Amino acid sequence: MKFTPLPLKGAYLIEMEPHIDERGYFARTFCMHEFEAHGLNMHFAQMSTSFNHKKGQIRGMHYQEAPYGETKIVRCTRGAIHDVMLDIRPHSPTYMQSFGTVLSPENGKMFYIPKGFAHGFKTLEDNTEIFYMMDEFYHPESAREISISNYFDE
């Protein structure tokens, strides 16, 4: 896997490095050793899927307040999304800065989103599916949403 630090402190773009042959490819999407080598969280409590029927659907910007903040790994497994993270850590040098990119099965990109970030996406195709790994359990009383659709310009 290839880990690229993003302009937002603590966030990464992770790309698969597929081994390709005539049958298709095989690629790791998670490896404890590689995450540890980059100083990233490698213990996850929950995995979830979001399925969206229609192109143009916006979900986000979601986060959980401390002490239930979540580190997330986000990967698009069907369709395509414009995925965005927003640093909402008040004392961070990148506070209120965002970063977004297209995630799709074809480009094999994933986001590593640290605690203290809001996250959301806009579907770019019908029947889009997103896979999440989170290091914290869902805590409904701490769940929050920032409604900022202008982060999803294509």
Query: Residue 98: phi, psi to the nearest 5?
Result: -125, 165
Provide the Cα torsion 87, 116, 136, 77; round to 10°. 0
Helix (H) or strand (E) holding 36: helix 32-37
**Residues with catalytic annotation?**
62, 132
The total of other beta-carbon atoms located within 10 Å of residue 12's CB is 20
Amino acid found at 119: H
Structure tokens belonging to residue 122: 């806009």
